[in-house]
């Protein structure tokens, strides 16, 4: 039975965590809105993740909203001493389930207090400013005001460390003039490789990179080559994609999410999967082909 520690560790600011973590988004209802169909199973998944060595959980109070944080508290509070909970602010949910930007100082402050209350915490380990951009891809623009608000809440002792999500390199540089940034969370996986240079830049600086949608998100990764490599290794395509991320750079922290105990075990088993050189080359080529296709699609007719 694989333990999350098999993936190794990396720094998350002042803390050290196992590189295989857990993302809580899928514990909410369909569309990340409302309660789950089976709340007890959701709590069981959280308990099993921690029992299997996961000590880095990613969440947000806008998942549900409030649902995943309340489930985390119900399942795990009082929290193990080594557990690092990372949340994010920058959006609010509409009554229709829409995702609406919420960057004003009052919105950011209110969101931090919502997270504190629903997680039953006096201080949050890490809060990421989630920039809405184009929802799943970053776009340029100053983040000085909302990040300064988070830095002030950090000075008040409500937040221990700060991070960023869905951001550009310029926004990271801007934020680092305001406060220390311990992690960056952007979309990145085997097929979506736009952040290749940023991953390496942050690795050199000792900053954690946390891919969201490591398995493709709402449109799971699909590749004949990925399936072929996985079959040769006796693994699932998703395990193979996670193993590729672990091999990609030592500063990558994984937060695959699931609401299933079976899938949790499958995800954790990726920590034991070794990718031979030939398999790595074939998997790397998937991203290269996707990038070439995207570039071709962007060219004028």
Task: Kindly report the three-state secondary structure assignment for every residue of the chain.
Answer: CCCHHHHCEEEECCEEEECECEECHHHCCHHHECCCCCHHHHHHHHHHHHHCCCCEEECCCCCECCHHHHHHHHHHCCCCCCCEEEEEECEEECCCCCEEECCCHHHHHHHHHHHHHHHCCCCEEEEEEECCCCCCCCCCCCCHHHHHHHHHHHHCCCEEEEEEECCCHHHHHHHHCCCCCCEEECECCCCCCCCHHHHHHHHHHCCEECCECCCCCCCCCCCHHHHHHHHHHCCCHHHHHHHHHHHHCCCECECCECCCHHHHHHHHHHHHCCCCHHHHHHHHHHHHHHHHHHHHHHCCC
Tokens standing for residue 128? 């990421």
pLDDT over 90 (residue 43): yes
Which of 203, 226, 206 lies closest to 287, judged by CA?
Answer: 226
Rounded to 10 degrees, the C-alpha dihedral 39/42/47/48 comes to: 140
pLDDT over 90 (residue 150): yes
What's residue 216's pLDDT?
A: 74
Phi-psi region of 13 (alpha: psi -120 to 50; beta: other; left: phi over 0): left
Q: Parallel, antiparallel, or unpaired for β 9-12 and 15-18?
A: antiparallel
Tokens standing for residue 81? 């001493």
What's residue 207's pLDDT?
A: 98
What's residue 297's pLDDT?
A: 57
pLDDT over 50 (residue 299): no
**Residues contacting residue 265 through CB under 8 Å, at least 6 positions apart:** 1, 2, 52
pLDDT over 70 (residue 135): no
Residue 292 banded pLDDT, cuts 50, 70, 90: low
Catalytic residue numbers read 63
pLDDT in tens, 162-208: 999 999 999 999 999 999 999 999 999 998 999 999 999 999 999 99
Residue 4 banded pLDDT, cuts 50, 70, 90: very high
Percent of the chain with pLDDT over 90: 86
Residue 223 banded pLDDT, cuts 50, 70, 90: confident
pLDDT over 60 (residue 136): yes
pLDDT over 80 (residue 220): no
Is-contact 166 139, C-beta < 8 A? Answer: no
What's residue 295's pLDDT?
A: 54
Is-contact 67 36, C-beta < 8 A? Answer: yes
In the predicted model, what is the mean pLDDT of the chain?
Answer: 93
What's residue 218's pLDDT?
A: 58
Which of 271, 292, 297 lies closest to 193, judged by CA?
Answer: 292
What's residue 301's pLDDT?
A: 36
What's residue 86's pLDDT?
A: 98
pLDDT in tens, 94-126: 999 999 999 999 999 999 999 999 999 999 999
- Look up the pTM and report it: 0.94
Residue 51 banded pLDDT, cuts 50, 70, 90: very high
Identify the residue with better confidence: 76 or 214. Answer: 76
């Amino acid at each position: 039975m694989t333990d999350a520690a098999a993936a190794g560790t990396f720094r998350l600011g002042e803390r050290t965590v196992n590189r295989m973590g857990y993302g809580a988004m899928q514990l909410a209802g369909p569309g990340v809105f409302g309660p789950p169909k089976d709340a007890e199973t959701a709590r069981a998944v959280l308990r099993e993740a921690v029992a299997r060595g996961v000590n880095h959980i990613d969440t947000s109070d806008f998942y549900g909203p409030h649902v995943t944080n309340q489930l985390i508290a119900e399942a795990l509070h009082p929290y193990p001493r080594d557990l690092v909970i990372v949340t994010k602010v920058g959006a609010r949910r509409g009554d229709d389930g829409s995702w609406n930007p919420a960057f004003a100082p009052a919105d950011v402050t209110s969101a931090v207090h919502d997270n504190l209350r629903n997680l039953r915490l006096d201080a949050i380990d890490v809060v990421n400013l989630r920039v809405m951009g184009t929802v799943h891809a970053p776009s340029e623009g100053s983040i000085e005001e909302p990040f300064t608000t988070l830095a002030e809440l950090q000075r008040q002792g409500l937040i221990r460390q700060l991070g960023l999500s869905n951001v550009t390199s310029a926004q990271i540089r801007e934020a680092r003039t305001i406060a220390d940034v311990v992690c960056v969370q952007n979309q990145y996986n085997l097929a979506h490789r736009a952040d290749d240079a940023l991953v390496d830049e942050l690795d050199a600086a000792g900053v954690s990179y946390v891919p969201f949608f490591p398995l493709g998100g709402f449109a799971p990764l699909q590749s004949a080559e990925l399936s072929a490599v996985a079959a040769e290794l006796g693994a699932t395509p998703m395990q193979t994609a996670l193993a590729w991320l672990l091999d990609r750079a030592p500063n990558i922290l994984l937060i695959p999410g699931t609401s299933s105990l079976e899938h949790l075990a499958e995800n954790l088993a990726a920590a034991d999967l070794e990718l031979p050189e030939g398999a790595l080359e074939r998997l790397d080529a998937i991203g290269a082909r996707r990038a070439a296709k995207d570039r071709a699609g962007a060219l004028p007719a």
